[in-house]
Amino acid sequence: MRALVIGASGQVGGALCGELARRGHSVTGTHARVAAPGTVPLDLADAAAVERLIDGLAPDWVFCAGALTHVDYCEGHPEEAERLNRDGPRAAARAAARIGAGFVFYSSEYVFDGTAGPYAEDDRPNPLSVYGRTKWEAELAVRDALTRCLVVRTTVVYGPERQEKNFVYQVIRCCRAGERMLVPADQVSSPTYSGDLAAASVELAVLGATGTFHIAGRSVLDRYRFAGLAAQVFDLDGTRLEPVSTASLGQRAPRPLRGGLNVDRARRTLTTPLRSAREGLETMRATIAPQEKLG
Ligand SMILES: NC(=O)c1ccc[n+]([C@@H]2O[C@H](COP(=O)([O-])OP(=O)(O)OC[C@H]3O[C@@H](n4cnc5c(N)ncnc54)[C@H](OP(=O)(O)O)[C@@H]3O)[C@@H](O)[C@H]2O)c1
């Protein structure tokens, strides 16, 4: 297939480009502020530019992973969050519809309120935050724009990443530096290995699947336990990881607490494995260790 990955400079988009290329597909990726090798610039807030790029490339599939992902920033900047997280994907989905391309939109566990997780695809969204609301509104908008549409909800994505900013890299840096790290012990979720998310997304597209899929790791655990597991797998001293309540962190945006994504639909549909947290962390370690030796 010819694929366009919007947000290729980010964690998920980067993993997607790698997976698509490995499978022999042709891929064009975009960045906003941080260029990655071979990416072209695109601002999702510029609907005309989005249309021009999609018309010009005529991709078979558009993977829309570009977003304003800073949850607390979104809470203070709702209009910007709406422009990027809802209106941008809607413009991209409409442009994809006009050329007959398929469209994959990346959404989040944060569409749920975290009172009764793990959640299945058909459970009722009730977002607590601006970020969660804009992702839910985007889901509705892209589904309305075209029928060749896949909504992939995911959560707590980790794995090898160019910008090294995901939660596991933060744990590794703190543990290596012997610094204290406060980690919420009351946020339950399903940490997701980025390689599995990318492979599952491509498999869904190749199958021609449509509708909503939860693509996440198969372990449901709280953030503190996940951090401890990361320290263990990376052979680091995790004694300065400190369990705290989410409330004590005073974050601007409310977080869903009892979350997690039920992945039964994905496991019934796909051959791509959805790794447990331990397996994902071990794979991440095996992947980045040789790079660290080189660096
Ligand atoms: N990571 C997670 O745990 C997680 C969980 C649930 C859902 N998701 C969803 O998965 C998708 C990808 O997340 P991620 O982890 O890869 O996020 P990320 O690492 O923060 O990457 C975000 C991407 O969006 C791009 N972007 C930012 N502003 C843009 C704009 N104005 N126009 C076009 N692109 C823009 C960024 O470009 P630059 O870096 O070049 O500025 C980057 O490529 C998002 O839709 C997110 O909501 C992620």
Instruction: Identify residue 217 by its one-letter amino acid code.
Output: G
Residue 176 sits at φ, ψ, to 5 deg, of: -65, -35
pLDDT at 14: 98
State yes or no: pLDDT of 293 exceeds 80: no
Mean pLDDT of the chain: 97
Question: Would residue 131 show up in a list of annotated catalytic residues for this protein?
Answer: yes
Residue 53 CB–ligand 1 contact under 6 Å: no
In which residue are the tokens 């492979």 written? Answer: 199
**Residue 292: predicted pLDDT:** 74
- Residue 18 has a pLDDT of 97
Whose tokens are 């990416």? That residue is 39
Q: Is residue 281 part of a domain?
A: no
Q: How confident is the model at residue 270 (pLDDT cuts 50, 70, 90)?
A: very high
Q: Is residue 120 in some structural domain?
A: yes
Alpha helix stretches (DSSP H) within 208-276: 223-233, 246-249, 264-269
pLDDT reported for residue 294? 53
- The domain that holds 102 is classified in CATH as 3.40.50.720
The encoded tokens of residue 120 equal 């299945």
Cβ–ligand 1 contact at 42 (below 6 Å)? yes
Residue 238: predicted pLDDT: 97
Report yes or no on 67 lying in a domain.
Answer: yes
Q: How confident is the model at residue 183 (pLDDT cuts 50, 70, 90)?
A: very high
Residue 175 CB-density burial (10 A; 0-12 exposed, 13-18 middle, 19+ buried): buried
Q: Is 32 in the pocket of ligand 1 (CB under 6 A)?
A: yes
In a domain, 97, yes or no: yes
As for how many domains the chain has, the answer is: 1
DSSP assignment of 100-130, as one string? Answer: T-EEEEEEEGGGS-SSSPSBPTTSPP---SH
Which uninterrupted H or E stretch holds 54? helix 47-57
What are 205-264's pLDDT values in tens digits? 999 999 999 999 999 999 999 999 999 999 999 999 999 999 999 999 999 999 999 999
Residue 140 maps to a domain: yes
- Domain hosting 44: range is 2-163+191-220+261-276
Ligand 1 pocket test, candidate residues 4, 5, 6, 12, most atoms within 8 A of CB: 12
- Is 71 within 8 Å of 109 (Cβ atoms)? no
Q: Which atom of ligand 1 is nearest to the CA of 35?
A: 40
Asked whether residue 66 is assigned to any structural domain, the reply reads: yes
Enter the tokens of residue 182: 């406060």
Asked if residue 132 is part of any domain, the answer here is yes
Whether 159 is covered by a domain: the verdict is: yes
What pLDDT is recorded for position 289?
82
Atom of ligand 1 nearest to the CA of 14: 16
